[in-house]
Amino acid sequence: MKQSIILAIGTFMIMFSCNRNKFEHDASGTFESTEVIVSSEANGKLESFQIIEGDILTKGQYVGYIDSIQLYLKKRQLLATNKAIQVKKPDISVQVSSIKEQIAKAEFERRRIQRLLADNAATQKELDDANSQIEVLKKSLNAQVNTLSTSVNGLDEESNTNNVQVSQIEDQLRKCKIINPIQGTVLNKYVEEKEVVTQGKALYKIADTKNLFLRAYIVSEQLEKVKIGEKVTVFINITEDKQKSYPGTITWISDKAEFTPKTIQTKDERQNLVYAVKIAVTNTDGLIKIGMYGDVDFR
């Protein structure tokens, strides 16, 4: 009986060993993806957020928003203040029009006196008085223009300050909208609709499941066979006796050796130290899953 049990265990181990080594490849590893944790950029109640784990989202897709009523009211207040500032701005041309008319009349009077003086019908003093009056009016005009210009410039600066605040509010309003940053699949959802969130709080995790990476491990003797940018063939198991291949490209080779992960088989099991490589693979049919084991041939 004991011999029968030992024989059965031996047969099982041989079958298991044969099954594991059925597919011979240069290296093996697991599939990874580019994962992004999307966090809140504003504070407030999460008014709309209806994504669920497993949803496939596109880049730039709107997925929810955070309460922004106070920001909206603040923007309206700033816009109303800007209107009030515009009303206060003086119209320089209108304000100085009366002085300009006085200067024009004074210059007309001076020309009349000059003609009379030429006919000895007026005195030099009258002409001097006319010139003096024109100079006084011109100085008054310049002073008024300077005063009005200073007032307009001050109001313009005040308006510009308000415009900057409006731009800040608009930026905060945009950040109240939750926009998905990359195309991919929602892996985890950390909050629910109507919860109060703070700036920096994680909302969900999304991964690009179309463009994956196979992190494989090779021994030192294989380093000369691999180069960044080299085309390779990646395999996944469809069934126990069937594999599917995908084209891949080596995008990274580690410059430091590390111990072989327990779950990874290498070309030479006697090697304890291996080098990690990353191979870009396009998941064209969606069969490759994150964390799935894969094999690679460098030939």
**Torsion angle of alpha carbons 182, 183, 184, 186, nearest 10°?**
60
Q: pLDDT truncated to tens, each residue of the chain (299 aa)?
A: 334 434 333 433 333 344 444 668 889 999 999 999 999 999 999 999 989 999 999 999 999 999 999 999 999 999 999 999 988 888 888 888 999 999 999 999 999 989 888 888 888 998 899 999 999 999 999 999 999 888 889 899 999 999 999 999 999 999 999 999 999 999 999 999 999 999 999 999 999 999 999 999 998 888 888 899 999 999 999 888 899 999 999 999 998 888 767 666 555 555 678 899 999 999 999 899 999 999 999 87
* Domains contained in the chain, number: 2
| Domain termination residue (choose one: 176, 197, 222) | 176
One domain, residues 276 and 219? yes
Question: Two tokens at 203?
Answer: 């909302």
Residue 239, amino acid? T
- What is the enclosing helix (H) or strand (E) of 31? strand 27-39
One domain, residues 160 and 252? no
| Domain termination residue (choose one: 176, 204, 232) | 176
Residue 6 within a domain: no
Expressed in percent and rounded to 5, the helix, strand and coil fractions of the chain are: 40, 30, 30
One domain, residues 169 and 261? no
Residue 283 within a domain: yes
Question: What is the per-residue pLDDT for 299?
Answer: 73
CATH of the domain at 233: 2.40.30.170
Q: 291 is in which domain, residue-wise?
A: 23-61+188-297
Question: What is the per-residue pLDDT for 282?
Answer: 95
Question: What is the per-residue pLDDT for 6?
Answer: 40
